[in-house]
Amino acid sequence: MASAKNYNLILALDSSSRSLTFAVGGRIKKIVHVETDKDFRHAETVVLQIDQLMKMAGVSLDDVDCLACGVGPGSFTGLRVGLAAVKALLMSRRAACLTMSTLDLIAQNALENLAGGISHVHVLVDARQSRYYTAHYVWQDGQLVKKGTDQILNIQEIIPKIKEGSVILGDGVPSFKSADASKHLKRIEFLPAAAWYPRAAEIVRLALEGSPLLAETDVRGLKPAYLRPTEPEERLLALEKRKNG
């Protein structure tokens, strides 16, 4: 858990989705952010976007004393690229490192919609093969409270968890919404695409507030939260299962 600290400058990023997002904030008294949609071509843009962000904010990387990032779940390749960038920056300076679940980060996009009896939030991120990375939150005592942990589930496993009066967001919305199994759900609000992706500006905001959603780590402990094996690993596991079956 992170505690509220007076960081000089926080540089945040999330690279788990098709949208690459960066933000910086702290002593500059504002949060400056950059969002790009490069269809997962993160390796080509991450260094350029950090440089652009620093110029926009009128600050230098030398001023950064805290690096914060979403660690997934999400795109395996995107996460590897983003976390490699954070590790490189950590090894070149003395800086704190904060991490958070990308699902927790996406859930922040629902805050402005929690009114009119809406009390449950479900994040659904497409995990391919008819599965979703998902997490459930409840609006309780003026804050968003996580119920359980990040999971990878199929639609039949998710449906019973969704209560009336829920907001659903994430890039899994289109496939979930079109599935026959979801047709009977009542009083459900699906948020538009603008709310489906993580925003690094929210990481900065949460870090400045000392949110318990962020955890402190170091370069050795900075690891992606994949929740499932990679596709080559899954193929190997299937092959081993057939061989032993």
Angle (CA) 79-77-23 rounded to 5° is: 35
Q: Say if residue 124 is in the same domain as residue 95.
A: no
Looking at the chain, the whole-number percentage of residues with pLDDT higher than 70 is 91
| Confidence category of residue 41, pLDDT binned at 50, 70, 90 | low
User: Which range has the top average pLDDT, 61-70, 158-167, 174-183?
Assistant: 61-70
Q: How many domains does the chain have?
A: 2
Taking alpha carbons only, the member of 81, 62, 76 closest to residue 22 is 81
User: Does 2 map to a domain?
Assistant: no
- Within a domain: residue 244? no
pLDDT for position 170 = 97
Tell me: do 98 and 24 sit in the same domain.
Answer: yes
In this structure, the answer to whether residues 47 and 72 fall within a common structural domain is yes
Amino acid 68: pLDDT: 98
Answer whether residue 39 shows pLDDT above 60.
Answer: no
| Per-residue pLDDT band at 164 (split at 50, 70, 90) | confident
- This prediction's pTM: 0.91
Q: 95-145, pLDDT tens digit by residue? A: 999 999 999 999 999 988 776 667 899 999 999 888 999 999 998 888 899
The residue segments making up the domain with residue 45 are 9-103+197-233
What are the tens digits of pLDDT across the range 165-213?
899 999 999 999 998 878 888 889 999 999 999 999 999 999 999 999 9
Per-residue pLDDT of 146-155, as tens digits, reads: 999 999 999 9
pLDDT value, residue 11: 98
Quick check: 95 and 66 in contact, CB under 8 A? Answer: yes
Residue reference for tokens 């899994």: 172
* pLDDT over threshold 70, residue 233: no
Task: State both tokens at 25.
Answer: 């904030």
Query: Does residue 245 belong to any structural domain of this protein?
Result: no
Number of other residues whose CB lies within 10 A of the CB of residue 90: 18
